[in-house]
Amino acid sequence: MNKTSSLIRNFAITSLFAAIIFMMAFTPIGFIPLGPMNATIIHVPVIIGALLLGPKTGALLGSLFGLTSLMRANLYPNVLSFAFSPLIPLPGTDEGSVWALAICFVPRILVGIVPCYVDKFLRRFSDKAPWRFTSAFIAGVAGSMTNTLLVMYMIFAIFRDSYATALNESATAAGGLILTVIAVHGIPEAIIAGIFTSAVCRAVHAFLEKK
């Protein structure tokens, strides 16, 4: 495949994943409301796109994921939307915080970068089919946990008091609430991401090997 054909192919695949991200963001497919938080699988196309096209494309797709979070926080606000949009006032105040943009974008960009390097490291041991798909599974889990751990840590570090207030809890309880979210939402999301990532990568490799 020449350089022009490769660029066209990569642009087409990137556009497809971008469309999937926006479709999932604004339909019930991508966000699953669970109490005050939303469980999400939007990171899955970000991770798969990153593994197929590299960390630069992964970072771009992650940025689009962050943009959808910002848009949803304003279009469909809930009690914790202040953590994802500077336009939503913090509980008990009349102003939002610009730090919400960091929570929206930094973890999501890294979702498109971390899995690439996890997969690259693991495939140093073997590039044969069974290990290749195990590597993709682990990379999917790593990408998902990057999102969950960074988002929840940044909420705790930046908005601990506001987070507790929004949930009618004391500030000292915030750490326990964060750990509960990680266990209840983050771990299942990571397993789902790993399964989907491995399955799609297996299908893509099977297709390419037939060509």
- Which pLDDT tens digit goes with each residue over 147-157? 999 999 999 99
Range of the domain at 172: 3-210
pLDDT at 208 over 70: no
What's the total number of domains in the chain? 1
Nearest residue to 83 (alpha-carbon basis) of 70, 65, 68: 70
What CATH number does residue 53 fall under?
Answer: 1.10.1760.20
Write the pLDDT tens digit of every residue in 112-170. Answer: 999 999 999 998 887 777 778 899 999 999 999 999 999 999 999 999 999 999 888 88
**Mean pLDDT over all residues of the chain?**
88
Given this model, what pLDDT does residue 39 score? Answer: 65
Q: CA-to-CA distance for 146 and 55, rounded, in angstroms?
A: 14
List all residues 6 or more positions away from 45 whose beta carbon is below 8 Å from its beta carbon.
17, 20, 21, 24, 61
